[in-house]
């Protein structure tokens, strides 16, 4: 569980009451107070763990430290000059002062140098509002300019790659992006060129920044030098509300923040989870939010005509009853690996417990490319959950296609339209052979078009629930925006359908479904729903930049 990792470091949770140093621990005095840290701990991390709040640009907790920004200088007793704490391991009996007048002054002077050639771009800069340079200036410098010389001009719009634009003037030469390419994507496209105040970030000769993790460079960039072509000029960051969630792009289940404003999602950014994705996510995952804006089902429909929920549910119940009347073996149900555990659990209760349907199939998006960094071949976020809930009854889409052709199955209840048509361009599922098709659909398209009854349901980012990733971790997703039109969460729509079928399921909230499912399903045991969360506007959240 990301909310409560099983591997909580007990040493950090319970500090030793007596300063009896363990063999692998060293005692460091930070601002007059003694602390113990494991040998080899980075001094910057040690200081900030002790609450000293030492600033930095080039250091990143997920990358190596080159100590180029000199923003984390601290005074160490016995050293003639302040040392870069991000590049210094702790040593026994070290005495560190993070807030001495001298250390503060040299840090301020370094900031003054950094600002010397920085363009006056804040009003047009995408990073403004989540910019580390702005934050550090305000927190640590806050002095007016002493220099009114002419700033060094560099290239303003450099097209670095498929998703990235570089503004060389804004770059503060921290090299974080270079290290992301080197250490996360293992592709090394970026480098520094020239020297002094003419130094610029650029791609290696003949290369483009087009690795599958390129947008992480935008996240780590402390200023607005690297910007995402997708997010650029789309929205001012301080207007966004951040909701913690999980990427629906593949079975890895990278933890993300959904940044939305006025009921529209604008971007996904990775959220730290040490066991799943650390600080990173792939470019493909970042664009999964675009699917929310594709043509959606917003109103219930019967035979292509918009109706209210009541009529649609009546018709759906009639079709399913007729199907069961012809023999329960002729009725099939499609589970979808894009759905949350809660929606799937409600579907299983309705289909297996109440309607006694035996024929179940698992749908989802096609497998795709993968690597050994983050991307999984399985492009569905909840295949593990769907398989655990559906159990041995689940068959493949090929089976569905065969059963439809043979007219073994003549009535179908589809929970989630994603990928139901079958692998792209190959075995198209012959939905036209059905006598009755009830679809709980998020998106308009062939599956919704073929259905006699379409019940609109909320997609990812519009509903609360949990996904089970390929490691078996049950991770919480949260609603960041409301669903379109009259769409309801899947469990809610199924609960209403159950009532029409004479089998009330009494599902009242996603949390209640989760708690009920956790009682019954082994793979969800120990999972935690997490605390209620109120999205905070980024301008006041103080979490970025």
- Near another protein by CB under 8 A: residue from 68, 76, 133, 350: 133
Q: Any idea what DSSP says for residue 323?
A: H
Site stretch for another protein (CB under 8 A), options 17-25, 67-75, 144-152, 364-372: 144-152
Angle, to 10 degrees, between the axis of helix 510-520 and the axis of helix 341-348? 70
Name which of 439, 391, 393 is nearest 419 in CA terms.
Answer: 439
- Near another protein by CB under 8 A: residue from 39, 77, 102, 143: 143
φ, ψ for residue 441, nearest 5 deg: -115, 145
By the rule CB under 8 A, 122 interacts with another protein: yes
By the rule CB under 8 A, 148 interacts with another protein: yes
Alpha helices in 131-282 (DSSP H): 132-136, 176-183, 216-220
By the rule CB under 8 A, 140 interacts with another protein: no
As a whole number of angstroms, the distance between CA 192 and CA 67 comes to 15
Name which of 99, 84, 86 is nearest 33 in CA terms.
Answer: 99
108 vs 395, which CB is nearer to another protein? Answer: 108
- Near another protein by CB under 8 A: residue from 199, 238, 321, 444: 238
Site stretch for another protein (CB under 8 A), options 37-45, 135-143, 196-204, 349-357: 135-143
User: b or e along 30-65 (b: 16 or more beta carbons within 10 Å of the residue's beta carbon)?
Assistant: bbeeebbbeeebbbbbbbbebebebbbbbbbebbeb
- Near another protein by CB under 8 A: residue from 103, 128, 200, 409: 128
Q: C-beta of 145: minimal distance to another protein in Å? A: 4
Terminal C-alpha separation, the chain = 27
137 vs 339, which CB is nearer to another protein? Answer: 137
119 vs 212, which CB is nearer to another protein? Answer: 119
Site stretch for another protein (CB under 8 A), options 140-148, 257-265, 356-364, 413-421: 140-148
- Near another protein by CB under 8 A: residue from 134, 214, 227, 245: 134
- Near another protein by CB under 8 A: residue from 14, 101, 142, 392: 142
Residue count, binding to another protein (CB under 8 A): 23
Q: Do the Cβ atoms of 75 and 82 come closer than 8 Å?
A: yes
- Near another protein by CB under 8 A: residue from 15, 138, 372, 519: 138
Q: C-beta of 139: minimal distance to another protein in Å? A: 8
Site stretch for another protein (CB under 8 A), options 128-136, 184-192, 441-449, 480-488: 128-136
As a whole number of angstroms, the distance between CA 488 and CA 156 comes to 46
172 vs 454, which CB is nearer to another protein? Answer: 172
As a whole number of angstroms, the distance between CA 92 and CA 202 comes to 41
- Near another protein by CB under 8 A: residue from 12, 145, 157, 406: 145
172 vs 450, which CB is nearer to another protein? Answer: 172
Q: C-beta of 140: minimal distance to another protein in Å? A: 11
Q: Do the Cβ atoms of 120 and 136 come closer than 8 Å?
A: no
Half-sphere exposure of 395 (CA within 13 A, CB side): 12
Q: What pairing do the DSSP bridges indicate for beta strands 158-159 and 164-166?
A: antiparallel
By the rule CB under 8 A, 235 interacts with another protein: no
As a whole number of angstroms, the distance between CA 216 and CA 271 comes to 12
- Near another protein by CB under 8 A: residue from 137, 361, 460, 529: 137
Q: Do the Cβ atoms of 43 and 89 come closer than 8 Å?
A: yes
Q: Any idea what DSSP says for residue 238?
A: G
Q: C-beta of 464: minimal distance to another protein in Å? A: 25
Q: C-beta of 119: minimal distance to another protein in Å? A: 7
By the rule CB under 8 A, 233 interacts with another protein: no
DSSP H or E stretch at residue 149:
none
13 vs 150, which CB is nearer to another protein? Answer: 150
For residue 539, give Cα distances in angstroms to 42, 56, 535: 30, 21, 12
Site stretch for another protein (CB under 8 A), options 52-60, 130-138, 209-217, 421-429: 130-138
As a whole number of angstroms, the distance between CA 491 and CA 509 comes to 9
Q: Do the Cβ atoms of 280 and 255 come closer than 8 Å?
A: no
Q: C-beta of 121: minimal distance to another protein in Å? A: 8
Q: C-beta of 15: minimal distance to another protein in Å? A: 24
Site stretch for another protein (CB under 8 A), options 75-83, 85-93, 142-150, 324-332: 142-150
For residue 152, give Cα distances in angstroms to 30, 88, 169, 199: 39, 33, 8, 10
143 vs 186, which CB is nearer to another protein? Answer: 143
DSSP H or E stretch at residue 415:
strand 411-415
Residues that bind another protein (CB under 8 A): 115, 118-120, 122-123, 128-129, 133-135, 137-138, 141-145, 148, 238, 539-540, 542
């Amino acid at each position: 569980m990301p909310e409560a990792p099983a591997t909580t470091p007990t040493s950090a949770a319970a500090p030793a009451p007596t300063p009896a140093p363990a063999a692998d621990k060293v005692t460091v005095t930070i601002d007059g107070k003694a602390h113990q840290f494991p040998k080899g701990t980075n001094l910057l991390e040690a200081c900030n763990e002790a609450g000293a709040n030492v600033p930095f640009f080039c250091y990143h907790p997920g990358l190596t430290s080159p100590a180029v920004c000199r923003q984390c200088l601290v005074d160490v007793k016995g050293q003639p000059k302040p040392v870069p704490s991000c590049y210094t391991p702790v040593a026994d009996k070290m005495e560190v002062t993070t807030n001495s007048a001298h250390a503060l002054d040299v840090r301020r002077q370094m900031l003054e140098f950094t600002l010397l050639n920085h363009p006056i771009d804040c009003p047009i800069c995408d990073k403004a509002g989540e910019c580390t340079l702005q934050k550090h200036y305000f927190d640590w410098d806050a002095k007016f300019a002493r220099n009114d010389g002419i700033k060094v001009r560099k290239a303003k719009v450099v097209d670095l790659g498929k998703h990235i634009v570089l503004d060389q003037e804004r770059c503060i030469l921290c090299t974080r992006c270079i290290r992301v390419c080197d250490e996360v994507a293992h592709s090394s496209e970026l480098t520094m060129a020239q020297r002094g105040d003419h130094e610029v970030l650029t791609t290696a000769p003949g290369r483009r920044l087009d690795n599958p993790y390129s947008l992480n460079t935008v996240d780590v960039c402390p200023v607005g030098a690297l910007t995402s072509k997708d997010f650029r000029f789309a929205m001012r960051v301080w207007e966004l509300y951040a909701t913690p969630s999980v990427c629906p792009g593949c079975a890895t289940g990278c933890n993300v923040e959904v940044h939305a404003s006025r009921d529209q999602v604008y971007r996904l950014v990775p959220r730290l989870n040490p066991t799943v994705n650390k600080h990173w996510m792939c470019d493909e995952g970042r664009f999964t939010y675009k699917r929310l804006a594709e043509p959606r089902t917003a109103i219930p429909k019967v035979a292509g005509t918009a109706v209210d929920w009541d009529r649609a549910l009546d018709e759906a119940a009639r079709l399913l009853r007729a199907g069961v009347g012809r023999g329960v073996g002729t009725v099939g149900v499609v589970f979808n690996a894009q759905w949350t555990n809660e929606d799937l659990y409600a579907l299983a209760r309705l289909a297996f417990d109440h309607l006694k349907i035996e024929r179940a199939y698992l749908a989802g998006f096609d497998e795709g490319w993968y690597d050994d960094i983050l991307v999984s071949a399985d492009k569905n976020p909840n295949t593990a959950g769907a398989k655990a809930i559906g159990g041995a009854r689940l068959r493949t889409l090929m089976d569905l296609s065969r059963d439809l052709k043979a007219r073994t199955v003549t009535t179908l209840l589809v929970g989630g339209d994603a990928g139901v048509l079958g692998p792209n361009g190959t075995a198209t599922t012959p939905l036209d052979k059905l006598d009755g098709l009830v679809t709980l659909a998020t998106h308009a398209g062939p599956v919704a078009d073929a259905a006699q009854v379409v019940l609109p349901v909320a997609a990812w980012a519009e509903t609360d629930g949990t996904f089970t990733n390929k490691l078996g971790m049950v991770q919480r997703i949260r609603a960041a925006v409301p669903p379109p039109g009259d769409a309801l969460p899947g469990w809610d729509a199924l609960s209403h359908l159950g009532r029409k079928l004479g089998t009330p399921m009494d599902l009242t909230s996603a949390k209640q479904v989760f708690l009920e499912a956790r009682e019954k399903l082994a793979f969800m045991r120990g999972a935690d729903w997490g605390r209620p969360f109120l999205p905070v506007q980024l301008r006041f959240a103080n979490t970025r930049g």
